[in-house]
Amino acid sequence: MLSSRVVTRAVRSTALRPSIASHTAMRTYAQPASSASTRPPVALYGVDGTYASALYTAAAKSSALDSVSKALDNLSSVFKKDAKLQSVLKAPTLTVDDKKQIIAELAKHTGGADKGDIVKNFLTTLAENNRLGVLEPVCEKFGVLMGASKGEVELVVTSAAPLENRVLSRLESAISKSSYVGQGKKLKVVPKVNPDIRGGLIVEIGDRTIDLSVSAKMAKLNKLLKDTL
């Protein structure tokens, strides 16, 4: 496992290392897009969305969107195979040498798809800004941008247990006819499982979220009881 190669050194020190650079003062990875063709097709928010958008712009300027997308898909597979990797990347005790080793190992897992070392340079930027921990969601958000560039609208359906195909098909059919999906757009359903929601569904499309989970209902009930008492 990739994580086992760095975890020993990652936990050597118990002292927290100071951040190399804050998010607001981070090194700019890509200059603002000069044309519509290099701009991300949709606006994404959060740290992972910001980095994914910057990487999209850099890849578009180099005409390397497909190769970068493939490289990130390969990295996503690494996370699925190595459950400990995400926690290692988030470790606050990683040294500069640890990060260099991680980048070198991750670069090996891009499957030769990283033309021009765009992804490797991006990993270096994440390391310098103590943001290696957002790599997994960045890979996911980059996929959203690639889908949007092809006219896809992503529908994320989170449930406590895997949903049957017929349930997903009914959701897809209902939402594809709604105003949430523009004319000529293709709906892409992405099912996710999160036992923590305890039941119900969380539906996300674009910047809209409909939380029908049991955990959300319990949180509202607890707040109501707390406010009342």
Higher pLDDT, residue 223 or 12: 223
Q: How far apart are CA 211 and CA 158, in angstroms?
A: 9
State whether residue 29 is helix, strand or coil. coil
Instruction: Report residue 148 CA to chain centroid gap.
Output: 15
Whether the pLDDT of residue 79 is over 60: the answer is yes
Structure tokens at 18: 């100071």
* pLDDT (0 to 100) of residue 181: 81
What pLDDT was estimated at residue 15? 34
The CA distance from 156 to 163, in Å, is 12
Convert 34-44 to b/e letters by CB count within 10 Å (16 or more is b): eeeebebbbeb
Predicted local confidence at residue 106, as pLDDT: 96
Q: Coil, strand, or helix at residue 190?
A: strand
- pLDDT, one tens digit per residue, over 184-223 is 788 989 999 999 999 999 999 877 899 999 999 899 888 8
Band (pLDDT 50/70/90 cuts) for residue 12 is very low
pLDDT in tens, 19-35: 323 333 334 444 444 45
Q: How far is CA 31 from CA 11, 59, 77, in A?
A: 36, 12, 29
Cross-strand bridge partners of residue 191: 157
pLDDT for 168 beyond 90: yes
Q: Are strands 186-193 and 208-211 parallel, antiparallel or unpaired?
A: unpaired
The secondary element (H helix, E strand) that includes residue 153 is strand 152-159
Pairing of strands 201-205, 152-159: antiparallel
Distances (CA, A) of 148 to 25, 65, 137, 182, 215: 29, 13, 17, 12, 30
